[in-house]
Amino acid sequence: MNLIFLGPPGAGKGTMAVRLSNELNIPHISTGDIIRAAIRNETALGKQVEQIVEAGKLVSDDLTIALVKERLENDDTVNGFILDGFPRTLVQADALAKLCSIDCAVNFELKETEVVKRLSGRRVHKASGRTYHVLFSPPKAVDKDDLTGEELWQRPDDQEDSILTRLAVYHDQTAPLESYYRNLGLLVDLDSSPAPDQVYQDLKKSLSI
């Protein structure tokens, strides 16, 4: 199954993609995770985009399309994939359509007030990307990763200024993709305001899994 997870920052795309990827045994491809790894590893790409990402703006279409094209060529995508955070512009959506077919685009819906709560309380284990929330999904020990005991991290783009920029960018550049995929008959709306277990059940139901 070739899936796209659409939706505002903090809606829970990554959290649900990890669960579904494990259950369906298909890769979770997050352009945000790929870009953050490049920044962490101080690659040429990472250095080029670090400030853009921290400010909550979008990396160029050319760069992100090239990243995804290369990733989709990997053999592990033969039985499907979950694209999380790509496409994010109409140019990216058109490029993706030339690379592969899509079975469904899930539109994670969440009010802005909830987005801000989720992002400001998010904590991440930098090396693995494991994600927690100080209130909604806390680690066993405060600010420590459950598996390694290492210190958790707050993404620089989870500061208030960047959150507001990301929301504005989402409305300007990514929200138009809802009608793009709706017009193709591929969009499924998902209320992502309930607790994670409920959202996961609703997600599977909407995909008839």
**Which residues participate in catalysis according to the annotation?**
13, 88, 122, 155, 166
Enumerate residues 6+ apart whose C-beta is below 8 A from 175. Answer: none
Nearer to Mg ion, 14 or 87 (CB): 14
For 16, 23, 67, the CA distances from 88, given in Å and listed in that order, are 18, 25, 14
Among 26, 38, 88, 152, indicate the residue that binds ligand AP5 (CB under 6 A): 88
**Cβ of 37: how many Cβ atoms within 10 Å?**
16
Measured from each CB, the residue nearest to ligand AP5 is: 32
Q: Does 77 bind ligand AP5 (CB under 6 A)?
A: no
Asked whether the beta carbons of 149 and 69 are under 8 A apart, the reply is no
**Cβ of 129: how many Cβ atoms within 10 Å?**
15
Six token digits for residue 1: 């199954």
User: Which segment (19-27, 85-93, 142-150, 177-185) binds ligand AP5 by CB under 6 A?
Assistant: 85-93
Q: Does 137 bind ligand AP5 (CB under 6 A)?
A: yes
Q: Does 166 bind ligand AP5 (CB under 6 A)?
A: yes
Q: Does 95 bind ligand AP5 (CB under 6 A)?
A: no
Contact footprint for Mg ion (CB under 5 A): 14
